[in-house]
Structure 1
């Protein structure tokens, strides 16, 4: 290895230690500069680029971006060193270069931690120090601007620096920032507890609903397919009557823990509900603010069972869930402010800068356009938008702003975050039906799943076991609410255990048959019949 290569490797090693250091210090502030940099890239990317990343990598897009930034940082360090060494810079020039790079790294690290710490001075300064100490000591131990040529010493120095970074991580975790004030409402805290703290208002009623799974007997064989379908064979003496809860079937109503999560953020915001308030304003007669406890105990608050689906979900995908929510109608909140006739859009703004807009005509006519404050009888988990998020039944999840801080009435048309990136404005859910479970019990085979048509509802589901040549009507379970999916099942006598080409299609409440045309998620949600080949 010549001198140029040694210098490049030394700088690259220092960059690696720096990256380890900032990740180790991240618990102190709840984030790190890599995530901040990735978020900057996401926000600055043209809509076509963002859409391509989502369609190509899906949920892996954000982690892949952070890895790419980390690799680029290491490569840049090696490249700068190799360039300087290759062009025969003097010792003085090398020192100037090293000093300039060091200053840039310090500034970027401090800025990144400051952004992640929401400006809390002692946290971001301490995180910066913990992140920069290991690479700084490595440079000193390696001879300043020129790394040591001794391989054993270099490895020893590198190991010590990584160990120091790990020690800094222990310190950072011990001093880690809590998600919210310990005295205020917490993500996932009982809504009853919030009411008790306020000592007034009403508590969340008990819905009385329990989710049960029908007994199916012992499963002799069970496997999952790539289409999120569970295929199973039960014992011959299993109950011959199939319910809606056999292996693979989704509960009629799920929980916050099993609800899908999709965000534009690399690191989601942490909101202190004790200091948070909802601002209702814009083109209204009288603006006002509501505290979290005032919102929870609003006289119009009610329980709702709502199915939500991500617009980026593929046919048969698992980015669709149903849960119990506690929510307040948006039109009730706006009624207290007074909305003029000239109002056009109702804009929701989030703590992370996200915005969405719904026409005032829609909001004024629908009491199911709501601001949710709870799931499963508890406050919202952080990942689901604590302390408040928008919910619009029948619209894709992109319309449901999380971490809402402001509801603003606009007299003009507002271009929303994803609309500006080429996705549809209305985001009305396409009729869908997905297979979730296929089970054999003796000669009887059941095919089951879920169907959803948004506010149109579902009137029927048909199942084909021969690739669409013939169809049979499935049985439908009553929906948990007008805003939720319906589970379906179809049972057939099939002594033959060979492969079956299962296809499903639904008819919505208007009598329209689900389209067979296969389209991707962009720009208005995927379409097509879900099909899967199974062997029992």
Structure 2
């Protein structure tokens, strides 16, 4: 049975989530009618640092399991043996909180022309939450796993997280991250923004990988496996298809290509992979990105004798945002915005720009640059450009529509009125 098949159960599942979340999110269907995902309804979500649970996007590939915290366990396998109850996770280890900007690897897929498969996201599949839980490194040390030596290039151990979400197609949702990243800052989260982890976000326990694309943040974790390689087909001690979500899907490649499996890769920096360090790169570390939150383009702007504040968010995964530029004339001229607010590794920064707005129609763009000097490209290329696109200030069109970060498709058109509001 194909993994990409319609499922009536998914429609009922999403209807229940929508009822619980209210109007903070809106549904989007994929082309195969298998998935319904939920993205932020309003652009104003991206004018604030913390994303409310009600506005945080929701995306998962299989069905939500009927999980009960009292009976849920996490198996430790491969080069580590043991198991954890949720009581262990909550009480036997340190309790920490991390701020993490989670972005779906398919965010911006709907901006590709021609369309690629799956959910046609615009910009709405990103959010920042505070996740509370247990450091993965604490669990692994307790069970005898030695932390990788950063100076030892031969240490290619990986941690594979496996979700307990059931699949009619028999695929196992498994994702691998370097063991060094797991020790560095990953947690097993059981709370989101100070509340119990919602079912659609992974209740009772989810892996949080700060600064990395959402697909790596495995929900409903039921197994952690220490391995000498990434997950490959047949590498898990269980039936089903093991490597689809690591080695087939969520790979960046031109159309007509079937990526080969890799046991390991030289870099987990997604942008380095796109530049050529990895053949058919994986979606790990977030690419540099920005979004304007206000003005939102929905209602006319009235200056009221004061400058209009353009406000938004910018992020760059494991790297820091160095600069955000704003254009209020569709890219003809640019000016630096001010970065402000909380500054945590793996979480977005707020930016603002005071705009002396003249009456009329304006197109506002934002573009961010990370600490390594990598700036968002202007547009998404056509399907035949591939890596040559980078030289033309374009993000390469790819068959899955993954990891897009072009700035022009995310601009906002704003109407500026002529007169101040009479508040008398």
Q: In the TM superposition, what whole-angstrom CA distance separates every residue of 1:39-62 from its partner, at most 9, and x where no partner exists?
A: 9xxxxxxxxxxxxxxxxxx93138
- 1:60 and 2:34 equivalent? no
CA distance in 2, matches of 1:66, 1:509: 36
- 1:462 and 2:325 equivalent? yes
Match 1:346 to one of 155, 159, 163 = 159
Q: By how many angstroms is 1:359 displaced?
A: 1.9
Match 1:515 to one of 354, 370, 377 = 377
CA distance in 2, matches of 1:531, 1:483: 24
Counting only pairs closer than 5 Å after superposition, residues 1-80 of structure 1 correspond to structure 2 as 34-35=8-9, 59-61=28-30, 64-65=33-34
Match 1:358 to one of 159, 165, 177 = 177
CA distance in 2, matches of 1:512, 1:435: 19
TM-score by length of 1: 0.52
Cα 1:248/1:269, change in 2 over 3 Å: closer
Q: By how many angstroms is 1:487 displaced?
A: 1.4
SS at match of 1:332: helix
SS at match of 1:433: strand
- 1:324 and 2:130 equivalent? yes
CA distance in 2, matches of 1:404, 1:450: 30
CA distance in 2, matches of 1:514, 1:62: 28
- 1:527 and 2:405 equivalent? yes
Q: By how many angstroms is 1:63 displaced?
A: 8.9
Cα 1:34/1:533, change in 2 over 3 Å: closer
Cα 1:248/1:312, change in 2 over 3 Å: closer
CA distance in 1, matches of 2:356, 2:415: 15
Counterpart contact for 1:347–1:358, Cα < 8 Å: yes
SS at match of 1:398: helix
SS at match of 2:87: helix
Equivalent position of 2:383 in the other structure:
none
Equivalent position of 2:353 in the other structure:
490
Counting only pairs closer than 5 Å after superposition, residues 150-189 of structure 1 correspond to structure 2 as none
Match 2:68 to one of 249, 252, 272 = 272
Equivalent position of 1:160 in the other structure:
none
- 1:384 and 2:264 equivalent? no
Cα 1:450/1:501, change in 2 over 3 Å: same
SS at match of 1:455: coil
CA distance in 2, matches of 1:249, 1:66: 24
CA distance in 1, matches of 2:156, 2:336: 46
Structure number with the bigger relative contact order (C-alpha 8 A, sep ≥ 6) is 2
CA distance in 1, matches of 2:413, 2:53: 31
| Bigger proportion of residues as helix | 1
CA distance in 2, matches of 1:295, 1:445: 47
Q: In the TM superposition, what whole-angstrom CA distance separates every residue of 1:169-202 from its partner, at most 9, and x where no partner exists?
A: xxxxxxxxxxxxxxxxxxxxxxxxxxxxxxxxxx
CA distance in 1, matches of 2:145, 2:248: 29
Gaps of 5+ in 2: 1-6, 14-26, 112-121, 149-154, 166-171, 233-242, 252-281, 296-300, 381-394, 417-424
CA distance in 2, matches of 1:447, 1:503: 10
Q: In the TM superposition, what whole-angstrom CA distance separates every residue of 1:444-467 from its partner, at most 9, and x where no partner exists?
A: 222221111112121221101111
| Bigger proportion of residues as strand | 2
Alignment RMSD, CA only?
Answer: 3.1
